[in-house]
Structure 1
Amino acid sequence: MLKKAAKWILVIGIMFILYNAAEILYYSKVVEKDVKADAAIVLGAAAWNGKPSPVLEGRINHAIELYHNKTVDKIIFTGGKAAGEKLSESEASKLYAMSKGVSEGDIYLETQSTITEENLKYAKELAEKENLKTFVIVSDPLHMKRAIVMAEDLGLAVHSSPTPESAYKTYKTKIPFFLKEWIYLTGYQILSPFHLQDSFVDFRLSV
């Protein structure tokens, strides 16, 4: 009896893990069109010497496009300052966006976060102060599933919009990113009922 129960638990566990893999791949292609939202939330990635890394630049460019085509009215940039850097990720993002024609008054920053869940948590706190209600989440395609799950768990009304300019273009770069997201999404979902998500820390993309 115990062996049979253990076998079914194993089967269910494997199915759950494989389902997560499929969901990550599915959400990497989900672009919700004809959407109108109050703001884009741009998830942080590394900034180098006050300038966005290629990963972050791709995310910013996509948010700028959403802003210029009136999909969003505002942009919330997220991300704190890494050791040795002169600007936070969000500050570097702001300067870049302004150089591309985004009005300073339409940009909001949170400068505390270091991981995805904090990006979203602090963005939510800022949005509540500014009375922003609906959001487009901007990140790399393989990051979207976990980002959407976390945003919805925080009670945010969100739409998915992965950047088409991801710095992860080859299988050599995509596969490690996918495996990382697969592990972190599964870990988050297992730990979240026990409020232990913070012990499962992701890392900043630095490409």
Structure 2
Amino acid sequence: MKRLFMLLFWIGFLYVAYIGYSIWTFEGEERLESTDAAIVLGAAAYHDKPSPVLRERVNHAVKLYEKGDVDHIIFTGGKGDGAPFAESEVARDYAVDMGIPKQNTFVDMTSKITEGNIINAKLIGQEQGFEDYTLVSDPLHMKRSMAIANQINLDVEASPTKTSAYQSLETRVPFFLREWGFYFLYKGSIVIPDNWKPDDWVPVNR
């Protein structure tokens, strides 16, 4: 019995360690052909300015657009508590100031967490007739984000930002530990009604 317990313990330990390693080293694969839209996952905005994290995600999506790798950009993220603007609005305005045509951008105004970001982006894409996507976020955020996107059957490729604001160990480690924990909380937790729409999304388990 003791040997069985130790075997199960080490199997569990190695699985948890493997997930942590895969989050830390996740890079994704570059799609060789362009996609209909980049989905920029939300991050904090400071009034009408993007935070350093959000700014670098937008910069990466802008580069994809300018290279012809994506035809449109979907910005996600609603308003934080007391915030005058949604994260997606701030991100979109920043991209437009960089020369992205406003008519080729879309905003999700209601989501508060990653699951909501991706679900609402899917609805926007369905309304526009988009078929495939490029997902943009920080490298440490990618494994869980791709798992969510795959669960809701998005045809999507990961494109982690090369200029993440999480560069030092002091910033990377806390974000990594957060993602490590959230990955296990998330796993298999999304249930989407057939007739869902953005206003129906209510965060759970967060």
Q: Give the TM-score taking structure 1 as reference length.
A: 0.89
The answer to whether the 8 A contact 2:79-2:109 is kept is yes
Match of 1:24 in 2: 23
Q: How does 1:107-126 map to 2 (within 5 A)?
A: 107-126=105-124
Q: Deviations over 1:139-166 (max 9, x none)?
A: 0111011111111011101111111111
Which structure 1 residue ranges, 5 or more long, are not aligned?
202-207
Which structure 2 residue ranges, 5 or more long, are not aligned?
192-202
- In structure 2, relative to structure 1, the CA distance for the partners of 1:83 and 1:117 (3 Å cut) is same
**What's the CA shift for 1:65?**
0.3
Match of 2:164 in 1: 166
Instruction: Kindly tell me the number of residue pairs found equivalent between the two proteins.
Output: 195
How high is the sequence identity, in percent, across the aligned residues? 40
Q: Deviations over 1:143-200 (max 9, x none)?
A: 01111111101110111111111111111101111111111112222xx2685xx543
**What's the CA shift for 1:31?**
4.5
**What's the CA shift for 1:11?**
2.1
**What's the CA shift for 1:84?**
1.8
Match of 2:95 in 1: 97
Amino acid at match of 1:125: L
Match of 2:195 in 1: none
Q: Give the TM-score taking structure 2 as reference length.
A: 0.89
| RMSD across aligned positions (CA) | 1.6
Match of 1:142 in 2: 140
Match of 2:199 in 1: none
Distance of 1:75 and 1:188 partners within structure 2:
26
- In structure 2, relative to structure 1, the CA distance for the partners of 1:148 and 1:5 (3 Å cut) is same
Amino acid at match of 2:118: L
Stretches (4+) displaced over 6 A: none
Match of 1:151 in 2: 149
Distance of 1:23 and 1:92 partners within structure 2:
31
